[in-house]
Structure 1
Amino acid sequence: MLVVRPVRTSDLPAIERMAVASGIGVTSLPNDRDKLFERIQQSASAFEHEAVPDTGREFYMFVLEEHGEVVGTASISASAGFDEPFYSYRSETFVHASRPLKVNNRIHVLNICHDLTGMVQLCGFYADPAYRGLGSELLSRARLLFIAGQRERFGKRILAEMQGIHDEQGQSPFWNAIGRRFFNMDFIQVEQAFVSHSKTFIAELMPAYPIYVPLLPDEAQNAIGQVHPDFERPFMLLTSEGFEADNYLDIFDGGAVLTADVDRLWTVECSGTYPVEVSVSLPPSATTMLLSNGCTDRFAAVAARVALVNGMALMTQDVAQVLALSNGQPVRVVPLHEAKEKQS
């Protein structure tokens, strides 16, 4: 059975393996043992607090597990850029007009900003290739089930950065056209610097003035707002939730930054809680849905068959055991995305 649970210190070797496999571009999953261990400890501290935290520093890391083997990971940052501004490019249009010449041009520009600072952030997503179907959906949406069950811990708006376009050698056309001219560093080098140093170097070295997109090379222009092929599945999962590629871009590779209202996300809005009823067998109406308990440090989410009958959630003993639930306790339930697609 696929299970999503909070990360443990013993998961460090598996997290290290996934950090290497995820490649460049996933700065929230750095290939650095000390940084990963620090984030695991930070996550453990956040999950341990039963009372509602008010610092905004909380970082929650989850793992996807099957038969005791960790095969995926994903995280939530309660407040993006809590210690330092969260930088992005804001996509805008400038109007250049001359009445005597009868010229009126609308020019696409990029402005560096920190508008998204303080928003909830989904980050650090990686699933082994064999688990990019149902496993990916469970892993991605389990975070939203946790948010729905712990709503008081999180703000009103949420974001997720999508990895932008770069080639197998780690060359990013967007970075090469802009950032490299001011940093004199390759994309891989700046990604490493982003992990190991203060983010203030962005404000110190990146141009504060608007970037006129028509002046960029065609390859860089074509990369704006694009999503790396490896992130197409996470992108689809998030857009199915209601995330939109708004007016913001990743500061390094120009990838799309998705945003949404937390309470309008499909998993948050459409999930419901039901008392558990453990059953030896399930009726024909039972379907595979996503389930989670209401715990913090013992949080668990699964994809399992359940039947909603007379206001109760009927499930088998093995599912109830994984969720650490017994008769009468509440379970949060939400359909798979395919059920939403059928409704529409």
Structure 2
Amino acid sequence: MFVVRPIQQKDYAELFKIAVESGHGFTSLPVNEELIANKINNAEASFKEDVGDGPCDHSYLFVMEDTDTGQIMGTTGIESSVGLKDAFYHYHLSKVVHNSRELNVYNTAEVLTLCNDYTAASELCTLFLREPYREGINGRVLSKCRFLFLAQNRTRFSDTVIAEMRGVSNDNGESPFWQWLEDNFFSLDFPTADYLTGIGQKVFIAELMPKYPVYVNLLSQAAQDVIGKVHENTAPALNLLKSEGFSWKGYVDIFDAGPTVEANLSQLRSVQGSNLYTVEVVEQLTGEDNVLMSNLEVELFRATAATAQLDKTLLTIQITQEIADVLKVSAGEQLRAVKLI
């Protein structure tokens, strides 16, 4: 079996390996020992803190662990409110009209405008499943377990939830979109700019980024072609989020032009569809569907997916003792569950 749980200090070495394995463009987990240590410290503090009546600037980082071997299979995270400490930049893709009645000329053009529109939104981030475990339901569970945490702890998060999707780049970390910006404004290669952003050094963006809307048709054709497109390895993650209700509203990453998708927390399929069920421990299960389930804790949060029997009328769930032990629940207690799709 596997379990998704809050990250701990003992996971440092494995998280560093994941940062190396994730490669270029994985901004939220740069290869930096101090930053990774700080991420773990911040996550532990976030899980422990009582937020009161509203979201704060907290980072929740989870790992998926193989319960048989103890191996860390991947990581996933949620930022409660982005942009409160450091500016959170995007380009917004929109249209302008150039019209002359006298000359009978009417033209539209797409423009990219630098903005901070998603400030204070909650962000799904740092999703990475290691190569040996990319099979079966593992990827879906690693992504969707966050929705159960969101559903159970709504006061910790914004009504708007976003996810920045990795844009197009090659194996050397070269981005066609950034190449145009580099040639004209930055004189920094994409991996360097991406790394600086990942470690929180964002001042250069405000200093060097073009201050006025950029006409898309002035970009190189290679740069135009990747606006709003995702890296081939990111396509499954994007499709999964779309199935949950996320959509693209024209916002793209300022470095690789990958799309940022958004949704209302209460409208997410797994949030709407999840419910609280009373645990019944049985020796043998008769259900055939995989159920995504979690306990109701924060600091001791546990989530997994397994065959289980849901009774939506009586609001009971039948699980084995093994599953109960993994989730740290007992018969008669409640857990949150939804059918895994």
TM-score, normalized by the shorter chain, greater than 0.5: yes
Amino acid at match of 2:57: R
Question: In the alignment, is the contact (CA less than 8 A) between 1:84 and 1:200 conserved in 2?
Answer: no
Please report how far the alpha carbon of residue 107 of structure 1 lies from its aligned counterpart in structure 2 after TM superposition.
0.4
Task: Tell me the distance in 2 between the aligned counterparts of 1:203 and 1:61.
Answer: 28
**2:320 is the counterpart of 1:316:** yes
Q: Does residue 230 of structure 2 align to residue 227 of structure 1?
A: yes
Q: TM-score, normalised by structure 2?
A: 0.95
Q: Note the C-alpha offset of 1:55.
A: 6.1
Note the 1:1-344 alignment, pairs <5 A: 1-50=1-50, 52=52, 54=54, 56-66=56-66, 67=68, 68-133=70-135, 134-283=137-286, 285-309=287-311, 310-337=314-341
Give the CA deviation at 1:192: 1.7
> Runs of 5+ in structure 1 lacking a partner?
338-344
Measure the CA separation in 1 of the matches of 2:208 and 2:96. Answer: 24
Letter in 2 for 1:220: A
Does the CA contact (< 8 Å) of 1:6 and 1:63 recur in 2?
yes
Cα RMSD over matched residues? 1.3
CA contact (8 A) 1:286 1:308 kept: no
> TM-score, length-normalised on structure 1?
0.95
Alpha-carbon contact 1:279-1:314 (below 8 Å) kept: yes
Cα distance in 2 for residues equivalent to 1:189 and 1:53: 39
Contact 2:55 2:158 in 1 (8 A): no
Q: Return 194-203 or 111-120, whichever deviates more.
A: 194-203
Structure 1 Cα separation of the partners of residues 199 and 142 of structure 2: 27
Give 1:151 deviation, angstroms: 1.1
For residues 285 and 297 of structure 2, the distance between their equivalents in structure 1, rounded to whole angstroms, comes to 25
User: 1:341 maps to which residue?
Assistant: none
Q: How many percent of aligned residue pairs carry the same amino acid? A: 38
Counterparts of 2:139 and 2:157 in 1: how far apart (Å)?
23
Whole-Å separation in 2 of the counterparts to 1:196 and 1:4: 26
Amino acid at match of 2:235: E
* CA distance, structure 2, for counterparts of residue 117 and residue 151 of structure 1: 18
Tell me the distance in 2 between the aligned counterparts of 1:276 and 1:81. 39
Measured in 2, the distance between the counterparts of 1:102 and 1:132 equals: 57
Output the CA distance in 2 between the equivalents of 1:179 and 1:96.
29
**Runs of 4+ with >4 A deviation:** none
Q: Which runs of 5+ in 2 are unaligned?
A: none
